[in-house]
Structure 1
Amino acid sequence: MGFIILIMLFVALFQYIEVKNYNKSNYKKETGYPYTKVRFNSGLYGEYLSFNILNKVEGHKRILANVYVPKEKGGTTEIDVVMIHEKGIFVIESKNYSGWIFGDEKNKNWTQSFKNGRKERFYNPIWQNQSHIRHLSKLLNIEDKNTMKSIIAFSERCTLKKLQVYSEGIRVINRHELEKTVNMMILGSCCYLGREQVDAIYNKLKGYSNVSEGIKRRHNKKCGSILHIQ
């Protein structure tokens, strides 16, 4: 009985520390989401973890989550995490998946495979992020393609088995590689945004985050779901 009580106390202490750290995080400041909403939502929790990693990147930067960028023909496209940095704008598509991941930049759908043999198809996240970048570039009136950096960050719970990526400025990684990957992309970046420009872009995009529940519902209605392989 004493051992069980000790375990319960340890779990309670761990959760207390986790909640305290979350409430002090920049992610909480930017989104306003309560801890329970994030912790028990796989997608949001993945964004939170990616957000925390990006906070470690050096240089003048501003980070936003859940940015709903308007499309030219109506509707919105949602960017999971965007970091505006002196060396470019990093657009991160967070995939908090498990299993084995197979994909090719040229193919419309990728495959998620599990140990029990079940397979699921999902829309090519490179294409998804390219759409985000296209609409974001239009919104910000940015024509230089070198300014935008595309990163697809899968969780540590999955294995990237067979992936083919051909384009420069695109990275498909596990989340634990995010800081290293961003730092390498910064070193290789030829663009430069001044501090005032970084802040101006952040201030403009801030108005497209923390949107109303009505906008979120309309966006979610138009989003496709995972396609199951029979």
Structure 2
Amino acid sequence: MALVLIVVALVIISYFMVNIYRHDNSPFYKLTGYSYLDMLASKKIRKMYKIVDVLNQVNGPHKILVDVQIPVNDEQKSIDAVLLHESGIYVIDMRAKSGWINGRERDYEWKELLHKGKSRTFNNPIHETKLLMFALQDQLSEVDEQVFQSVVLFTNDCSFQQIEIESENVEVLKMKDLKKWTSTLKGKAISEPDIQTLFVALESTMNTKSALLKANKVSTV
């Protein structure tokens, strides 16, 4: 019995050691500074990790930012992720829902159908994501507005019953479709040097562990 417990303990330790090693060598850790334990303890950080992991597989020059803090109508709002890609700038806002989603781009509210005939409404996520996109456009006023696109990203717990989109610069996806969506990104609207310049301009707006450490270093100098 003791030998079995030792073997089980070694397997568990090995599992965590491998995962920690992979995490500490991941683009997400280099971008945010969040440790493997940070990720286990926070649903929000796990969400960001998944987004970065998928977005980083996109073909072509790109940079990723997460938890970008930006002023919207005199309030500080957070953009879950921004993908700077040669084909454009993508503002990604994630929503956690579990029911059947119904909504049109022109509607003020969308509806989530739940079990036993219950339902609840929520603010149109396209409108809210567009507000974030417009705010980012204001911050990057030197960039052509045509390269900006908004992406509403739902968790896999929900299902789309009826979604109607009118604008060409809007996408509504589920997390499981994100990788397939990245494979459709084509064109060269932004040069690689400009992608790097934009990343540097926005890097300090990220609300991450790395950003906090950098800010503390600057304040102590």
After superposing the two structures, state which structure 1 stretch, 203-212 or 15-24, moved more: 15-24
What is the aligned-residue identity percentage? Answer: 25
Q: Return 5+ residue gaps in structure 2 as ranges.
A: 213-221
After superposing the two structures, state which structure 1 stretch, 90-99 or 45-54, moved more: 90-99
When normalised by structure 1's length, the TM-score is 0.77
Q: 1:194 to 1:157 in 2, by over 3 A?
A: same
- C-alpha distance in 1 between matches for 2:127 and 2:42: 24
- C-alpha distance in 2 between matches for 1:68 and 1:29: 19
Radius of gyration: which is bigger?
2
Alignment partner of 2:106: what SS? Answer: coil
TM superposition shift of 1:121: 2.8
Q: Are 2:193 and 1:196 aligned?
A: yes
Q: 1:64 to 1:51 in 2, by over 3 A?
A: same
Q: 1:123 to 1:55 in 2, by over 3 A?
A: same
Q: 1:103 to 1:13 in 2, by over 3 A?
A: farther
Equivalent residue for 1:30?
Answer: 31
Between the two proteins, the alignment pairs up a number of residues equal to 208
Q: Are 2:175 and 1:175 aligned?
A: yes
Alignment partner of 1:47: what SS? Answer: helix
| Alignment root-mean-square deviation, CA | 2.7
- C-alpha distance in 1 between matches for 2:146 and 2:16: 42
Q: Are 2:211 and 1:210 aligned?
A: no
Answer yes or no: is the 8 Å Cα contact 1:43–1:96 preserved in 2.
Answer: no
Alignment partner of 1:90: what SS? Answer: strand
After superposing the two structures, state which structure 1 stretch, 118-127 or 15-24, moved more: 15-24
Answer yes or no: is the 8 Å Cα contact 1:108–1:124 preserved in 2.
Answer: yes
Q: Return 5+ residue gaps in structure 1 as ranges.
A: 214-230
After superposing the two structures, state which structure 1 stretch, 88-97 or 59-68, moved more: 88-97
Q: Are 2:151 and 1:151 aligned?
A: yes
Q: 1:109 to 1:198 in 2, by over 3 A?
A: same
Equivalent residue for 1:52?
Answer: 53
TM superposition shift of 1:84: 0.6
Alignment partner of 1:57: what SS? Answer: coil
